[in-house]
Amino acid sequence: MDDQPLVRYALRTLLESRADVQSIIEAGSEQEALRSCAKDLPDVVITELFLAGGAVGARICQYVKAKSEEVKVMVYTSASAPSAVAVAMNAGADSFVHKSIGCAELIEAIERTKSGQRTWILRAASLPFQARPDSTAALTPREEEILELLLHRWSNAEIAQELRLAKQTVKNYVSRVLQKLGFASRRDLLRSLGSR
């Protein structure tokens, strides 16, 4: 689902030419997407995260996941802020892919998502990471704050000072955030961002 006809056309053309796809249903609005999913649930939903109506992709993701956990949802978006990642995670998205990636990487991300491998590519220079299958827990508001500061490369001491928390508390939050995102370490998380 995307409100840009050119994006939908390009995605359809790419999928028809390079992916093993039975059928493709396009939607240019939240209402069209929800109507299509109400009729027949697809194997994979690919949606922009934010449109004029707000976090439309998140609402579509929540709707689809409420109907069937078997349907995979890939957020394919131009958003890249830490808050966008948190919105997608909290909505239950299986994958988060930035629109700056190339065609081959996009097809690979779609195939991985379809096969149940969670894939998160935050921008073109990113290294995709595989979240563990059990890392589906939503981030709390405090964990979203921690993630944002982590993605800005703040140290635990800096985070503790900014949020007025004990260093051990921050360390515990950081561990939980990394676990939920499927990263083994802070270095792995930052490596996924590529060079900035």
From the list 61, 102, 55, 103, the residue with the least C-alpha distance to 79 is: 55
Could you tell me the CA-to-CA distances from 114 to 143, 161, 180, 184, 195 in Å, in that order? Answer: 28, 42, 20, 24, 29
Least confident of 50-54, 109-113, 165-169: 50-54
pLDDT at 105: 87
Q: Could you count the other beta carbons within 10 Å of the beta carbon of residue 169?
A: 14
This model's pTM is above 0.75: no
pLDDT tens digit sequence for 92-146: 888 888 888 888 888 888 888 888 888 878 764 444 444 443 444 567 778 878 8
Write down all domains in the chain, each with its CATH number in brackets: 5-131 (3.40.50.2300), 141-191 (1.10.10.10)
Q: What percent of the chain has pLDDT over 70?
A: 86
